[in-house]
Chain A
Amino acid sequence: MASIRELHTQLVRKERSAVEITTEALERIQTLEPKLHSFLQITADHALAQAKQVDQQIAAGEEIGLLAGIPIGIKDNMCTDGIPTTCGSRILENFVPPYESTVTEKLKKAGAVMVGKTNLDEFAMGSSTENSGYQVTANPWDLSRVPGGSSGGSAAAVAAQECVVALGSDTGGSIRQPASLCGVVGMKPTYGLVSRYGLVAYASSLDQIGPFGGCVEDAAILLGAIAGYDPKDSTSLKVDIPNYAQLLKPNFRPKSRLRIGVIKETFGGGLDSQVEEKVKAAIEVLQNLGAEIQIVSCPRFGYGLPAYYIIAPSEASANLARYDAVKYGIRAEEADNLVDMYKKTRAKGFGTEVKRRIMLGTYALSAGYYDAYYLKAQKVRTLIKQDFESAFEKVDVLVCPTSPTTAFKAGEKTADPLSMYLSDLMTIPVNLAGLPALSIPCGFDQQGLPIGMQLIGKVLREDQLLQVAYAYEQSTDWHLRTPIL
C-alpha cells in the first residue's frame, strides 16, 4: 500500500476515491486475516461510511487533510464510542464504551478511516501479543514467529499493508519492539505529548500512545494529528505542536554537527550478533550523513527492567481493580456472595500474565514491602532519568538496538516470563524517563527478519528524532522491502 502522501495526492487528483482505497484495504484484510490475525475486529461499515464522507468532501471541492481517507488500525485498548473495546481481555468481552478516546476523536475529525481494532497482549502486558485473550497474531515476515508486543496487531497490520498507519501504545516498548520485529517505523512520544484519555490504563505514569507507519513521514503525519494538550488528561502537556511532517528535509545535513551518542551498555551480552552488526552499520550511515558519533554511558540503564517490573505492575494492580463485575464487563455466574463474585470473575476474565502482574504489584505496594520495592524502584527511575540527562548534555540523540533479538518463534518464550521480559530491555528505560524514542528498520538478519534501530531524543524533541530517522531512511531502502504474503 502506498504512503499517506501518495494516497492523498491520488485522492486530491480524484484518481481514486476514499471508498476505493478503503475497499482495497478491507479486501486485503479479508485475504490476510486468516493467516495474520492482526485485527480483533474489522469495522468495515464504519470505515466505508467514513470514506464516503471524505469522498463527498472531495466532490464538494473542500480541502481535505493528509489523513482524510487513509485506512488506519487502532489498537484495541483505545476506547471507540459504540464499538467494542476489549483490550485483548476476556473480562471486557462484552464491553462497548459510551465515549471516544481523544486520539480516535482527533483522527475521526481528520477524516482518517478506521478499518478495525488491532490485537494486543491483554491489557498491553506482553512482548509478543501471545497474551491476547482472543488470538495470536503472526509476524508477516515469518508466520511462525511473533510480531512482538504488546501492539503486535498494529505493527503486523502496517507491515502487511492491511492499513497504511496504525496507533499503538507503549508502556515499556510496546510500540518500538513490535515495530522493530515487524520492520516498520514506530514511535513513542514524550510522556504527556499525546492524551491518554480513553486509553485503557495499564501503567498510567508510563503509558503513551504513538504512531506506526511504513515510513518516517507517515509516522510524523500521524503523530502530528494526535499530539496536543487535552483538558481531559491532567498529565498532558500544554505545548505547541510543530508540523512534524513539514519539518522533514529530504537531504538533511545538520548545520551544526548533530551529535549522536551510542549507549555503551546496550552492546553487551544477550545482544544478537546480527542485530549488533546491523545497528552498528546504521550508525555508520548516520556518521556519513554528517553526524558526530560518540560513545556514551548510561550506567543505570540495566536497572530499568527490574524497576519497571515493580512500578508498572504496582500501577496496574490498582488500574485493573475496577474490573469487578459490578459495572461492566463479564460477570461470573454461580457466585455465592460478593467476594466470590470478584474472585470467580477475575479468575475467569484475566489471563495468566495479567494475574501475575496484579500479584507482583499488589505485593510491591503492601505494607512492609512498599519501601523496599515501590519506593526503591522510584529512586532507580530517578537515577535512570539522571543518566539520560547527563548523556543529553553531550549529545542530541541517543542510539541503540530496539530489541536484542529479531522476532522469536511463537511459544518460544511463553513458559519463561523472564526471558520474555528481557526483550524490552532496551526500550523500558526510555519510558521510565518519559523521553521520546522511535524504532526504524535498519536491516534484516540471515533469516530475512527485520532489525530495528532505536533513536532516543530529548524531551519534546520529536521533531529532531523524526528528522534524523528521516535522513537515515532516505539514504537506505529497508523501508521499501515488504513481506511476501
Chain B
Amino acid sequence: MATAAPKKKATSTQYEAVIGLETHCQLNTETKIFSPVSTAFGTPPNTNISAICLGYPGVLPVLNEKVLEYAVKAGLALNCKIAPYSKFDRKQYFYPDLPKNYQISQYDLPIAEHGWLEIEVVEKPGDEPMRKKIGITRLHMEEDAGKLVHAGSDRLAGSTHSLVDFNRAGVPLLEIVSEPDIRTGAEAAEYGQELRRIMRYLGISDGNMQEGSLRCDVNISVRPVGQEEFGTKVEIKNMNSFSAIQKAIDYEIERQIKCLETGEKIAQETRLWEEGSQKTISMRSKEGSSDYRYFPEPDLPPIEVSVEQMNQWKGELPELPAQKRHRYEEELELSAYDARVLTDDREIAEYFESAIAQNANPKQVANWLMGDIAAYLNSEKLTIGEIALKPPILAELVNLIDQGTISGKIAKEILPELLTTAIDSLQKFVESKGMIQISDTGELEKIIDKILSENADKVEQFRNGKTKLQGFFVGQIMKETSGRADPKLTNQLLGKKLKG
C-alpha cells in the first residue's frame, strides 16, 4: 500500500492525518427496507408512510429481499467476505425522527466485512495516478430515519417547534465503514467517488449527495509521522459534495496541526462543515461515548445466505470501474487519464465498448467521446443514452476517417446533425451529402492546376521564397472542394507542383 507524502510544515515536525470514512448509501429499491411503501424522493411530507414506517403498536418489520441482494452485491464488489450467518439488531436512542426510538441496524454480525477498494489519486493534472487500496472494515444494512424541519432555528435547540416528515423513515441504507487508511482530503474524495461509481455500476444507488442518498462522515486525527498511536479523533459531518469532503479534511488537518503545535487540546467531538465560511465548527462533544444498548432484533430471523444464492449474485455482478480501468489501459492501450474518464460513468463506458466492438480505433472513439460529444452532453445536460448518435454510427465515423472516406474536418462539421438525428448508415449519409473525400490523384491534380493557374502571381511569389503561401493554396483547394480534398494527398501533390 502506498503512502501519501506527509504534510510539510515550517517546523521540523512532520504530521500525517489518519482518516476513515463512514458512508451511508441509500439503496434505490422500489419499496422500503421493512415495509411495502414507496421510497420515492421529493413527494409531499408524510405521504410515503404506513403503520410500519411509523412504528405503530403491533406492526412488524419484514425484510425487503432486494435489500439483502443489493447489500451482498455491494459487499462482493468491495471485495468483502460475505457473512454466511448475519442478523439485525436494535440500536436504541430517542429522537423524534426515529419512529420506534430504535433503529433496526446490524451490530456484531454485519452482512459483509474485511474488504477493500482501489482508488487512483492524481496529485496534479497530467500526473500518473497513484493507486492505493483502502480497506473496508464492514458493510451493513439498516433503515433510514425521518427528517425534522425546525421552526425558528435550523436545529432542534432554539426552535419554537419542529415538524417531522417520515417519508424517509425506513428507506434502506448501506453503511460502509472504511479502515483508517486514508491520509489526505484528495484520497478521501476519491474514495467517496469510487464508492459511488461502484454503487452506480451495480445499479443499486443513485449516489446523489445533494438529495442525501450518499452521505459521508469523516473521522480524522493527526499525529507526528512515525508515531504509532492515533491522535484524538474528531468526526466531521455535513459535507454535501466530494469537494466539500476534501476541503473539510484539508481544513481540519491544518486546524489540528495548529492545535498540536500550540499545545491546545484537541477535543473529541463532532464538527460540522460550514460551506459558507469554509470552516469546521464544533457541534457536540463525543466524550463518553453514547450507549445504544444494542441487542438482537427479535422480530426478524437471522439472515443466512446460501452458497448457491451468493454465487448467483456474484455471477450477476458487472465489470467494475477498477477492472475496466485496468483493462482499458492494458488491453486497449489507453492512457490512465482516458481510462478514468471513460469509466467514470457506466453508461459512457458501455457506449465506448459498444463502439469499439465495431472495430473502431479505441483511442479515436475515446477522443470523440471525451471531446466533442462530452462537450455536447455537458452543455445540453443530456446523458449518453439520450443522444441520437448511437455507438455503431460513431464507430463508422471513426472508421470512415481512418479509411480516408471523409476528412476529420467534415466529420466535425456533420457531428451536430448526427447528435440530434438518427441515421442508419453514415456511409450513405455522407454520400448523399456529397461529402466523400477526394483522394483520387488525377482529380486532385486537376483542381490544383486550376487553382495554380488562377493565382499565377502567388505561385511566382512562392517560388521566390514566400513558402508560407502553401497554406493559402491549400485553403483555396479546400474552398473549391468544399473541404473534401484529402489534406495529406493535397499537400503532397501541391508541394510537387509548386516546386515546378
Contacts and interface: CB of A to CB of B under 8 A. Distances in A.
Interface of A: 77-79, 85, 87, 92, 95, 97-99, 101, 196-201, 203-205, 231-235, 314-315, 317-318, 321-322, 324, 326-328, 338-339, 342, 362, 365-367, 370, 374
Contacts of B168: none
B301 interface: yes
B458 to A, nearest CB: 88
Given A318-B295, A321-B101, A367-B291, A92 B60 contact: no
Contact of B58 (A78, A367, A370): A78
A198 B60 CA distance: 8
Contacts of B102: 318, 321
5 nearest A-B residue pairs (beta carbon):
A321-B101, A205-B298, A204-B298, A365-B293, A200-B57
Given A322-B101, A326-B164, 10 more contacts: A101-B58, A197-B58, A201-B58, A232-B60, A317-B293, A318-B102, A322-B99, A327-B54, A328-B57, A365-B92
B61 interface: yes
Interface in B57-97: 57-63, 90, 92, 94, 96
A77 B58 CA distance: 8
B94 A342 contact: yes
Interface residues of B, number: 30
Contacts of A338: 96, 156, 162
Contacts, number: 105
A327 B61 contact: no
A232 B62 contact: yes
Nearest to A85: B57
A122 B56 CA distance: 17
Nearest to B157: A337
A99 B59 contact: yes
B55 A327 contact: yes
Contacts of A197: 58-60
Interface SS majority for chain A: loop
A198 B59 contact: yes
Contacts of B101: 321-322, 324
Contacts of A339: 94
A328 B301 CA distance: 28
A321 B100 contact: yes
B128 interface: no
Contacts of A79: 56-58
The secondary-structure label for the interface of chain B is loop
B225 to A, nearest CB: 35
Nearest to B289: A367
Contacts of B162: 338
Contact of B57 (A201, A231, A365, A370): A201
B298 A315 contact: yes
A388 B57 CA distance: 33
A233 B102 CA distance: 19
B299 interface: yes
B332 interface: no
Question: Taking each of B56, B60, B61, B62, which has the highest tally of chain A beta carbons within 10 Å of its own beta carbon?
Answer: B60
A371 B293 CA distance: 12
A199 B58 contact: yes
A117 to B, nearest CB: 13
Given A232-B62, A324-B94, A327-B55, A204 B299 contact: yes
Interface string B90-128: 101010100111100000000000000000000000000
A198 B52 CA distance: 11
A234 B61 contact: yes
Contacts of B59: 99, 197-198
Contacts of B298: 203-205, 235, 315
